[in-house]
Amino acid sequence: MTPTDLHVVTAPQLDPRLGRQVVHDPRSRGFALAPKVDPATWRTRTVRIYDPKPNPNQTHGNCTGCSKAIQFNSVGNRKAGRVLDMSDADTIYALATTLDPWPGSWNVDGTGEDTGSSGLAAAQAAQKLGLGGEYRWLFGGADEAVQAIVGGAAVSVGTWWYEGGFDPKPEPGGGVRIEMTGRKVGGHQWTLHRYDKRRDLVGGLCWWGDMSDFWIRRSHLADLLADDGDAHIQQAIVS
């Protein structure tokens, strides 16, 4: 595979916590999850995540590694007795930066070039580290993501991020909700782990300290995924 085989978009990251870059491999079409989308089966569902305590506070561009660690901390997709933490996210991210198409890499000691990486590279890194196995892509946007959540999966998504994403507002009925308003400030990898059917909201999770768990409208998520976004699930190695 050469870089010309890939759809690659390099974006400046205007916040140190942003680090998702766009890398889409056409061969991923052969590894689609393609769940049957049936809104009649949708119900309110939370996929429990075993997060380290206190809640980790990401300070650099390792969001692809963080999302992968969160995915492997989910009920039904984790090694019993183990909770992946920020050091695991750093290890995944460091390897991912050597697998993506960009020159330069970031090291776990903080040296190197923190140029971000992709969800694809993080999934590949997880495989090489023996943390994750098969990964499957969801090409059907927000509806397929909701179907996967209702089925018990935590979904890693990579999307553009906007200024409004840093300013959550109280959501009637509980929690906070983000709106991707204002200017585009970079890319972010985050994890979907819950769905509220009554409010038609999808719950996102990242490791940003107090700003970690939030809601987003399903229609809004659909727009983000349609704009060079991607979504995947990956089976954790549990033995």
pLDDT above 50 (res 203): yes
H-assigned helices in the chain:
63-71, 86-99, 119-128, 141-150, 218-226
Chain Cα centroid distance, residue 16: 16
Phi, psi of 8 (to 5 degrees): -125, 130
> What number of helices (H) and strands (E) belong to the chain?
5, 11
**What confidence score (pLDDT) does residue 143 get?**
98
In a domain, 183, yes or no: yes
Q: How many CB atoms lie within 10 A of CB 45?
A: 16
- Tally of domains within the chain: 1
Could you read off the pLDDT of 25-74 as tens digits, one per residue? 999 999 999 999 999 999 999 999 998 988 899 999 999 999 999 999 99
Q: Give the structural domain span for 114.
A: 3-22+60-236
In a domain, 138, yes or no: yes
In a domain, 34, yes or no: no
CATH number for the domain harbouring residue 89: 3.90.70.10
Helix axes 86-99, 119-128, angle to 10 degrees: 110
Could you read off the pLDDT of 140-193 as tens digits, one per residue? 999 999 999 999 999 999 999 999 999 999 999 999 999 999 999 999 999 999
In a domain, 207, yes or no: yes
In a domain, 43, yes or no: no
Could you read off the pLDDT of 82-112 as tens digits, one per residue? 999 999 999 999 999 999 999 989 999 999 9
In a domain, 211, yes or no: yes
**What confidence score (pLDDT) does residue 4 get?**
55
On whether the CB atoms of residues 73 and 231 are closer than 8 A, the answer is no
Kindly report the pTM of this predicted structure: 0.96
pLDDT above 90 (res 211): no
On whether the CB atoms of residues 165 and 208 are closer than 8 A, the answer is no
